[in-house]
Amino acid sequence: MDATFALFAAGGVALATLTPKLLLRLDLSRAKHRSLAGHPRLARRVASLVPYYEYDDERFFDADGVPEEIVARRRAGFVRLSDVYRSRYAETAELTAEIEGGLSDLQFTGAYRVPFQFRRHVREHLRAGSFLCTSSGATVTDLDGNRFYDLSGSYGLNVFGYDFYKECIRRGSELVADLGPVLGAYHPVVAYNVERLRAISGLDEVSFHMSGTEAVMQAVRLARYHTGRSYLVRFCGAYHGWWGDVQPGVGNPVPAHHTFTLRDMDERSLRVLRRRRDIACVLVNPLQGLHPNANAPSDSALVDSARRAHFDREAYTEWLRRLRAICTERGIALIFDEVFVGFRLAPGGAQEYFGVRADMVTYGKTLGGGLPVGVVCGRRDLMKRYRDDRPADVCFARGTFNAHPYVMGAMHEFLRQLETPAIRALYDGLDERWNARVAALNARLRAEGLPVQVENLSSIWTTRYTQPSRYNWMLQYYLRAEGLALSWVGTGRFIFRIDFSDADFAAVADRFVAGAVAMRRDGWWWADPRATNRSIRRRVLREMIATRG
């Protein structure tokens, strides 16, 4: 009797201590998005199982089992397109091929433009090249003299047009020329930059870094130092640079042990934040408002037409408000990572655009006036790197090139220009303008019966496809042939300078439609009425299993 009682009592004590832990664990599991993007460890394991295989000359045109006549149309279209590429981009492609073997960056981006099964054939026959020699207005020009409308936006840097940044660099360089590259001490332009950034961010202090990745590293490190907690929360799919802790899944060879990847815009994630005591900070990349819980869209992942996107400003604002409230309540640092969207949505960045204040904000890209930069702005109590009462307990962060005079000069010009009426005026009616452009282009695409639509967050666009297909990624090559320059993620992301003129936009829309019409004419969008995205994925899975044997 005594022994049984003791056993029960011990079990009860064990359960009582274990239950809170189990409940926290359960909350965490519930707050993980069901996709692979929500399960970074599993995603890494799955990625390691995917075998390489490629389609031969037959399968390349018939990966979806189409009638002979369609295969013939695709072949003829491909030959036509590759002739255009061969003759039009010869010099640019030749230099690219020459250096590719010695430039790892180029090998990487070149390999991930299309789903890997199609890669070899595309690289052999649609060589566009990766060199440009001039930019002017809304266009860039390659070595063969071809002018393209630039929709790459230079990874988001290009908010006001390349000529604007050339001027920032020229004037900024003049400002600091007498000092030159003296590091450690500051050029006086830094004083202006700090004051402007404090005013813009509404935060107390500023630190300068060399890239967005570094700025994010520093913000998270400081949040951990001051809260004494180790976990950072990022939302499923969000990109915050390539530092290991913010890239816990595919792409990072080791696990990130102190990162939670939670569902975006979901009550279950708020519950985790409310209940756990080990969370130092929450990182928000407001770009995710366009595609919550999904990775940055890239054509290399366009296996089917499952890509979804839609920006609901009201819903996302409400989500940020709720996050803000819980972070305040729980003493968690709310960090807005505005490296991508800062200064693109509003002169005061995402904080102003959504009307929600963060504890720390990271900026980069455009803020350097065309030169490389990362910036952290934050509350004084979070930015301090040492403790007055514990002199040996520091949070170390330095960098040789931080606050480099030439970068500070270009940034000074950027921030000065940001205050001018001409630049301020560009933000008037910005969303309405871009939303109307999207609506008009979508109406045209629908009227033409083309299976493609665009979605936008202001001047940032992504393409989605409205009928199941294995060949959507081909659109990037047709668009290029129409004179539209895209980045290596293809139709996943178009980034416009915000002052794109109506005339330039009309030209882009015409070219977009023409490219899509040509692609349809060549049979790539022929679809078996029975095909679904799921049946396509199943087919690809079967191919993989067969390859692994």
Ligand X SMILES: Cc1ncc(COP(=O)(O)O)c(C=O)c1O
- The residues that touch ligand X, with contacts defined as CB under 6 A, are 155, 211-213, 216, 239-241, 285, 337, 339-340, 364
Tell me 307's DSSP state. Answer: -
- Sheet with 360-364: list strands edge to edge: 205-209, 374-378, 360-364, 333-337, 279-284, 231-235, 259-262
- Between 349 and 468, whose beta carbon lies closer to ligand X? 349
**10 Å Cβ neighbour count for 76?**
12
- Between 81 and 489, whose beta carbon lies closer to ligand X? 489
CB of 210 to ligand X, least distance (A): 8
Q: Which of 494, 159, 168, 505 is nearest to 344 (CA)?
A: 159
**Which 3 state secondary structure label does DSSP give 41?**
helix
Q: Which of 197, 171, 148 is nearest to 373 (CA)?
A: 197
- Between 126 and 339, whose beta carbon lies closer to ligand X? 339
Burial of 478 (0-12, 13-18, 19+ CB in 10 A): buried
- Between 165 and 524, whose beta carbon lies closer to ligand X? 165
* Residue 52, CA distances (Å) to 46, 456, 530 in order: 13, 34, 28
Q: Is the Cβ–Cβ distance between 377 and 343 less than 8 Å?
A: no
CB of 256 to ligand X, least distance (A): 15
CB of 457 to ligand X, least distance (A): 13
- Between 155 and 192, whose beta carbon lies closer to ligand X? 155
Tell me 340's DSSP state. Answer: T
DSSP line for 55-124 = --HHHHH-TT---HHHHHHHHHHHHHHHHHHHHHSHHHHHHHHHHHTT-HHHHHHHHTSS-HHHHHHHHH
- Between 168 and 513, whose beta carbon lies closer to ligand X? 168
Q: Which two tokens stand for residue 148?
A: 């393209």
- Between 92 and 213, whose beta carbon lies closer to ligand X? 213
> Letter for the amino acid at 183?
L
- Which residue's CB comes closest to ligand X? 212
- Between 362 and 463, whose beta carbon lies closer to ligand X? 362
CB of 353 to ligand X, least distance (A): 15
CB of 242 to ligand X, least distance (A): 7
CB of 373 to ligand X, least distance (A): 8
Helix (H) / strand (E) element for 17: namely helix 2-30
Q: How many residues does the chain have?
A: 549
Q: Is the Cβ–Cβ distance between 366 and 153 less than 8 Å?
A: no
- Between 157 and 189, whose beta carbon lies closer to ligand X? 157
Q: What is the 3-state composition of the chain as percent helix, strand, coil, each rounded to the nearest 5?
A: 50, 10, 35
